[in-house]
Amino acid sequence: MAGERSGKRLVVVTGGTRGVGAGIARAFAEAGDEVVVCARRPPRAPLDGVGFAPLDLRDPPAVHAFFGRLPRLDVLVNNAGGAPYRLLAGTDAERHARVIDLNLVAPLTASLAAYDLLRRARGSVVMIGSVSGTRPSPGTAAYGAAKAGLENLARSMAVEWAPEVRVNTLVVGMVRTELSHLHYGGEDGIEAVSGTVPLGRLAAPADIGRAAVFLASDAAAYITGAGLLVHGGGERPAFLDAATVNRTDRVEEADKERRGQVT
């Protein structure tokens, strides 16, 4: 585990060994912070300037022991989470509950274990939420429910822990990681999905990392209890493409016809 370094903040990123978590860890390291990532397994390749501590976030005694060993803590990023594609009726409630445990209960456990350290440092918690918690999430319903709960938890936590600790949520959209093919298919699928995003691409892990650094920085000193959307503009409503009027292509065609009549 990384030791104390004078003049640097200590940042813990849960589940920070790959994908979005690794992007967040790198962003804080590049900002000059001391960063420790914790997960059940170490990263396949060490992250430059980032320490690693083995930890199962679903084991409350181990979580409390981990934070109890830290000399201080300035920022906690609750990133660990995820879920397999699983239709609700395809399995039992106990399996869905495990998803909720990882994505909602584990961040609560880590935040409570870190509270005293964060309060002394007047620190910050950044929850990594998801757009899945703001809309229907077929195939990952338990995950969506957990992420909806996580954002509400963060808002309540922000009120209870103010003014010593700020708590905010990054509401993250689709991100291109090494596991994107499991969600969207090969390059053709990823390109097609990217075309549904107003900004024309999936987020990179670094995009999420920079947003997390901002929320934990002095530039966000008056921001707490907030949810920052990092989704490239969101999702175009499906009914707009299904409607028989006011479609962009038809409006453009009508405009051309009108211009032709004028000339």
Of all residues in the chain, what percent are helix, strand and coil, respectively (each to 5)?
Answer: 50, 15, 35
Catalytic residue among 85, 115, 143, 184: 143
Beta strands at 166-172 and 227-230: parallel, antiparallel or unpaired: parallel
The answer to whether residue 143 is catalytic is yes
Contact at 8 Å (CB) between 65 and 116?
no
Cα 258 to Cα 1, 243, 244, 246, distances in angstroms: 69, 22, 19, 16
Left if phi > 0, otherwise alpha if psi is -120 to 50, otherwise beta: which for 145?
alpha
Vertex 52, ends 132 and 116: CA angle to 5°? 75
Closest CA to 153 of 95, 107, 199: 107
Contact at 8 Å (CB) between 35 and 13?
yes
Q: Which residues are catalytic?
A: 143
